[in-house]
Amino acid sequence: MKRMLLTISYDGTAYHGWQVQQNAVTVQSVLCDALGEILKTNVAVTGTSRTDAGVHAKEFTCHFDCPDNIPIEAFLKGLNSVLPSDIAVIDCKQVSNDFHARYNAKGKTYCYNIYNSTKKDPFKLRYAWQIERPLDIGKMNEFAKAIIGKHDFYAFSSSGRSAEDTVRTVSECFITKDGEDIKLTVTADGFLYNMVRIIAGTAVAVSDGRVKVEDLPQIFASKDRNRLGVTAPANALFLEKVHY
């Protein structure tokens, strides 16, 4: 047997996240079914993380074990032929048998899209959070810079968190604007449940003046979720890259 690392891209709109769930269609369950069809056996797939319902991924990684005699190029083509149009395998390579898609990851980069306009655009709204009032990019970047570093991000997570250790190190966080399109990019060694969506919601709250950047040290220390912004909608969040 050999261990393979798959890199997949998916539109999460139709799925209840990555993780297999009873009575729900997930990316993991669809991928396992497709692998089973190609390999003619049940296949267990381990993902690098969980993504929420409606969240998308440009580069999501997962590993599985398969027979040694699988020709990678033909396997990749065959797997894509049986996957639905909203899931694509973009890379497939052999890794060491002790490799783990989650535990070997050194960090991840997420992007969050905001459509800052009063105009309705059905194509942008599928993948962005529309905010009609003008946003202050300068203030939002002050906030982004302030959360870089090692902090206890307990306040930046929802009650459904499973991690006991809530300390994370953010290595980069910045916000860019191109016309009506605003993008938050954040890279960290790990993320808590809803952490990026709360960061996005808080960046907007800082722009509005409802959260003050100078209060962040107290907010980190207090672990008080109520002192931050809303949890931004899932449809605008993308897992951009997994770093190994």
C-beta neighbour count of 119 within 10 angstroms: 9
Tell me what percent of the chain is helix, strand and coil, each rounded to the nearest 5: 30, 30, 40
Q: Which residues are catalytic?
A: 52
Amino acid present at 98 = D
**How remote is the C-alpha of 231 from its chain's centroid?**
14
DSSP for 197-242, please give it: HHHHHHHHHHHHTSS-GGGHHHHHHHT-GGGS-----GGGEEEEEE
